[in-house]
Amino acid sequence: MHDRTLWGVGTPRTFRIHWALIELALPYKTRPLETRTAPTASAEYRKLNITGKIPTLVDGDTTVSESSAIINYLATKYDSTERSLLPRDIRSIAAYHEWMSFISTELDATSLYVLRRHEGLPHIYGYAPTACAAARAYFTRMALAAAERIKDGRTFLLGTKLTGADIMMVSTLDWADHCECEYPSVLRAYREQIVAQTSYPQAVHANKAT
């Protein structure tokens, strides 16, 4: 059997990779590392990911970290006619990368991750209520822009099929719900359809921390 191990459970970013692996029907083992626990500082893990952050995927002799990079790696390597998380035509490929970048930077890193640091971990990163209020408002503004792009009622970001960009978006909306960040009903309806139509529930189960 192919030697494939996903390190990490319990966060929206680890969830992304469980979901991608399940959608692509790729068997894998899970090392249930939780964020900021002692095992993330072990020599064994630091050899795989020097940042000590999760998730990390080891696929045979390839090691990849960064959730969007892992999704792109899996989607590219294991693309087939039966199972695919990538669009096919060049304009959709451009839109796919646009969404991946937008979600990773505008919705994740500069909005929700600010809240995670300064509301969730103020003892490490400092208490910053002004930055948090701005991050919350920024998330809502960017979510409004995303909703505008899909208000034609499409099921998936790129039209009629699930791609890695949907995995990024839905996991980020889940995180936003957890942080009580507001986003438009168009995005809520989009999320609900995907949750009902894909292997989302299995991925939730796979990502559960023990």
Ligand X SMILES: N[C@@H](CCC(=O)N[C@@H](CS)C(=O)NCC(=O)O)C(=O)O
- Taking CB under 6 A as the binding criterion, the range among 53-61, 90-98, 151-159, 179-187 that sits at the site for ligand X is 53-61
Regarding 34 and contact with ligand X (CB under 6 A), the answer is: no
| Token pair 């009629």 in the structure block, residue | 160
- Taking CB under 6 A as the binding criterion, the range among 47-55, 74-82, 131-139, 156-164 that sits at the site for ligand X is 47-55
Distance separating alpha carbons of residues 112 and 181, to the nearest angstrom? 9
- The H or E element containing residue 154 is none
Regarding 64 and contact with ligand X (CB under 6 A), the answer is: no
User: Residue 66 CB, nearest distance to ligand X (Å)?
Assistant: 5
Regarding 46 and contact with ligand X (CB under 6 A), the answer is: no
Regarding 56 and contact with ligand X (CB under 6 A), the answer is: no
User: Residue 33 CB, nearest distance to ligand X (Å)?
Assistant: 9
User: Residue 108 CB, nearest distance to ligand X (Å)?
Assistant: 7
Regarding 66 and contact with ligand X (CB under 6 A), the answer is: yes
Regarding 32 and contact with ligand X (CB under 6 A), the answer is: no
Q: In the chain, which residue ranges form alpha helices assigned H by DSSP? A: 12-23, 43-48, 67-77, 90-102, 113-115, 122-125, 129-149, 164-178, 185-197, 200-206
| Token pair 């979600």 in the structure block, residue | 103
Which of 39/52 has CB closer to ligand X? Answer: 52
SS (H, E, C) 38-96: HHHHCHHHHHHCCCCCCCEEEECCEEEECHHHHHHHHHHHCCCCCCCCCCCCHHHHHHH
Q: Which two three-digit tokens encode residue 166?
A: 């949907």
Regarding 77 and contact with ligand X (CB under 6 A), the answer is: no
Which of 36/141 has CB closer to ligand X? Answer: 36
Q: Could you give phi then psi for residue 64, rounded to 5 degrees?
A: -135, 135
Residues 6+ apart with CB under 8 A from 207: 9, 10, 11, 14, 15, 18, 19
Q: Which of 30, 35, 37, 105 binds ligand X (CB under 6 A)?
A: 35
| Token pair 């503004």 in the structure block, residue | 141
Regarding 110 and contact with ligand X (CB under 6 A), the answer is: no
Which of 13/136 has CB closer to ligand X? Answer: 13
Q: Binding residues for ligand X, per CB under 6 A? A: 11, 13, 35-36, 52-55, 66-67
